[in-house]
Chains A and B, each alone.
With several copies, the nearest count.
Chain A
């Protein structure tokens, strides 16, 4: 009997080494007959145009205006991510899951929607939510666990962030199908992680979307880690986009740190869904260079070697190089942009700071349209205690 991955890992001794061995070994058998699916990539990590042949020849490079706009989106959400760390350390924000390094994957996908479309983000996807249009003040309130952060604006079709992994996938199918039943051209977009793709709901969601021809775009952000578990231990598959085929659904793979590629692919999938041609799964290949949350200590499960290389693939710097070289962006233009972004953020935080604290009785509000006798009694109980 050949050694299993875990046997190899066991004999390897120290932990991160064991994990590295596991990852390598588990991949082996699958790798045999399974070539890696090529990724769409327009801009190389060096910030130059990728001159090679593209796996999706129908998907065009966005025009310079769009490029600049996408750059701004990334800058905007990077600013939030960076400021969130500071606010957390100051005790002004709760446990926040950072997405720094994944801006292309989040902004490039959400930017393909209008606010008539649905967005189902996970806890990791603050950047996508902000790009879609969730107000910053509300987003800050959310990560402060204030009720103000949960009341989604009536004119947006975005849900609060999903914590129970993968549950949003079948729900997005329902929202998408509802749009279709109503005769609109609106679509639903749902996010998931590499870890989330192991849950049954991922499978059921994709299969339902295919079978019912729901206008859904499924974004699978493969950032290499599910807390401490690397993608290679999550599954023996080389890539996750391939799963789509098993549902008769197109599965596309894109360099998740190249926002031009991400945006172009997503736009194509959104149009396909609008046209009634059904769902698409898009795997954005990216990396979680940050900890799982601001409170996580990644040294418990990974070494510097395991993250090496990814810092040089930074999606913001990559597009910046390209735009500067093309003359689409100037240093002065960028400075002005960053000032605007910073001012917008500070104003929003001030607005969030001004939001009133909830009162304990709100615990039992909004359970039903009409409170039950039980809830009325419980509310009275809380009020009594609160005033005591």
Chain B
């Protein structure tokens, strides 16, 4: 069987880079995609503007040039169509990596996601499985137009059969994305728009994976546990740094995967510190922060020395008003206030 995607003549070598030079998260994501395309002929990348243009954030920059338009292609503008395409390709045994241009624009695909993406293995008792990855930039902080700053991760986390991964830094982003592509089941991969370029870090230039379902201790501490992910990690870090100045030792857990949640790591830390602050930038009611709080309330009640405090967006749409939108997203100041609340309780 001659696989069109195998035609190696179209494959230009990935550019070499200096491993000691820090790179952005979007560059790390680009590198992971490039590597996946090179290693596995079943990997296909598609979405709106991902091909010729290389994506609105340049996450797929250069990939079509190196791997050909069979492997990396632009689709018509229709998210349900993109998700359905990915599901169909997955049914047929390929490894589609679809991009939703913004998380706020994945909503038209929710029927495909809720009705099928997470159900196919279950309903066919594993006859059909969906090794599909969906990438979507999410969250606020960079003054995008209306509807471009949504954080709908709790909605996807509520869908059985779909994993949800949200990296907070370049090294994790690359390894988690490679793990997502290698995963035999559907993985949603949310990428903080704010983090795409705000932070550079050294990234292992080789192939490696970061396990899905394992949180990471971002910062060790004893007095309280801050639980966060994605774009909130750097915000919490700054709050923890400030708290350290006041003699408070905060442990930060970067969940990395929110579904399945690494409850073991969360609970171990909370049992140690006795205090939990959970930070997300999604609307308050029924956000994923609430799931984390619920797990703690169910499993670590005896260890709690203070209320479980959530620092979140508000029960209003992410505001399209540039001058004030930064007050919607949790700031180090708001996290610091929560830290005080649990410490002074």
Contact = CB atoms under 8 A, between A and B. Distances in A.
Partners in one complex: yes
A286 B3 CA distance: 40
A204 B261 contact: no
Given A150-B124, A174-B85, A200 B70 contact: no
B319 to A, nearest CB: 5
B92 A175 contact: yes
B112 interface: yes
Interface string B140-157: 000101111000000000
Interface in B195-226: 213
Interface string A346-388: 0000000000011110111111110011110010001001101
A40 to B, nearest CB: 27
B5 A301 contact: no
B124 A175 contact: no
A177 B48 contact: no
B75 interface: yes
Interface residues of B, number: 93
Given A94-B322, A178-B93, A211-B76, A366 B263 contact: no
Contacts of B51: 228
Nearest to B184: A369
B56 A147 contact: no
A282 interface: no
A243 interface: no
Interface stretch (A124-132, A229-237, A321-329, A333-341): A229-237
Contacts of B56: 227
Nearest 4 pairs of A and B residues by beta carbon: A174-B88, A170-B84, A178-B92, A204-B81
A39 interface: no
B324 A362 contact: yes
B284 A374 contact: yes
A95 B89 CA distance: 31
Contacts of A207: 76, 78, 81
A358 B85 contact: no
Contacts of A182: 1, 3-5, 92
Contacts of A362: 319, 321, 324
Contacts of B322: 94, 144-146
Contacts of A173: 81, 84-85, 88
Interface stretch (A52-60, A70-78, A106-114, A160-168): A160-168
Interface stretch (A15-23, A254-262, A267-275, A308-316): A15-23
Interface in A161-194: 163-165, 167, 169-184, 188
Contacts of A195: 76-77
A6 interface: yes
Contacts of A22: 69
